[in-house]
Amino acid sequence: MTNLAILLQAQGQGGMGGGLIWIILIFVVMWFLMMRPQRKKEKEERKFREALQKGDRVIFSGGIYGKVHEVGSTTVDVEVSGGVILTVEKNMIQPAPEDKK
């Protein structure tokens, strides 16, 4: 065998383990930079929905603001304007920003 062939063969064998380490490292970095913050946000939203009370200001995922009128097990009745009450899934509401009235 020529020196070049021996060098390429040795590099190919060592490169496989090194490539696997890089793939694992990339996955770990992706986990910490993307998935952990997303799970933290989901946990905070779940706590908010479990703690909903009458009178809380909320915003629908579609951008409609309202005030909680009644809380059910999976739904929430929200007053949006002058006695108009809508029933929505809990998963479709978020806390309203403080500057909106």
pLDDT digits (tens, 9 = 90+) for 23-59: 899 988 988 888 888 889 889 988 988 888 999 999 9
Q: What is the fold of 52-101?
A: SH3 type barrels. (2.30.30)
Q: How confident is the model at residue 68 (pLDDT cuts 50, 70, 90)?
A: very high
- The pLDDT of residue 99 is 55
Q: Quote the pTM value.
A: 0.60
63: left (phi over 0), alpha (psi -120 to 50) or beta: left
> Where exactly are the structural domains of the chain?
1-51, 52-101
Which tokens hold the place of 45?
A: 């939203």
- Give residue 54's identity as a one-letter amino acid code: K
Which tokens hold the place of 99?
A: 């500057």
